[in-house]
Amino acid sequence: MDWHQTVYELIDFRSFSNLWFWIGLAVLWSTASHWVIGVPFDMVARAARQGGQAEQDFESLVRINCNRILFITEEAGLIMAAIGSFLLSTLAVLAFVFDIELAQAIFLMAAPMTLVWGLSIRTARKITGNQLSDEPLRKAMTRHRLIVQAIGMVSIFVTALWGMFQNLSAGVFGG
């Protein structure tokens, strides 16, 4: 195998047979489950364990990010929803009607992330509306993270099944 073929395989647009796609998918969901509403999840454990300044820092960061999410939603939520729906619909048509594998890969990453964004808005409203703090706030953040992880696991499973189907259909692994 020469280096030209190796380079071509690294930048190949057949997403589901490309290692970079799977690395990107893992990084996407790892990041989504670590940064809960924009707050690194290790701050939840540190706040529970140490209290005091760690708890105050955690609560301040949660309030800042909740207010930011709600401000964006109130100011541009309708426009974002319209543009997001248009882009997801366009990706779905390109992916599953015109059978473009790159669009399938992007759709299988983007569609579940819209669920995560909606969940973040809902959690931010709950935290802000109920003025959660201390243990109830940590529980809400932990619950949010668990739901994001569940969405991620289902997403990775569905993407892996679809990717195997595409690879076997294209004859990448089979005859």
Q: How far apart are CA 171 and CA 164, in angstroms?
A: 10
| Domain spans, the chain | 46-163
Q: Can you give the pLDDT at residue 12?
A: 61
Q: Can you give the pLDDT at residue 169?
A: 86
Give per-10-residue mean pLDDT for the chain (175 aa): 68 78 96 96 95 96 98 97 98 96 96 98 98 96 98 98 90 55
User: Is residue 33 within 8 Å of residue 149, measured between CB atoms?
Assistant: yes
Tell me the sheet residues that pair with 35. Answer: 40
Q: Can you give the pLDDT at residue 2?
A: 75
User: Is residue 128 within 8 Å of residue 66, measured between CB atoms?
Assistant: yes
Tell me the sheet residues that pair with 95. Answer: none
The residues, any chain, with a CB within 8 Å of residue 114's CB and separated by 6 or more, are: 84, 88
Q: Can you give the pLDDT at residue 69?
A: 98
The residues, any chain, with a CB within 8 Å of residue 142's CB and separated by 6 or more, are: 44
pTM score of the predicted model: 0.88
Give the chain's radius of gyration (CA, Å): 20
Q: Can you give the pLDDT at residue 13?
A: 62
Record the tokens describing residue 131, joined without a space: 């003025």
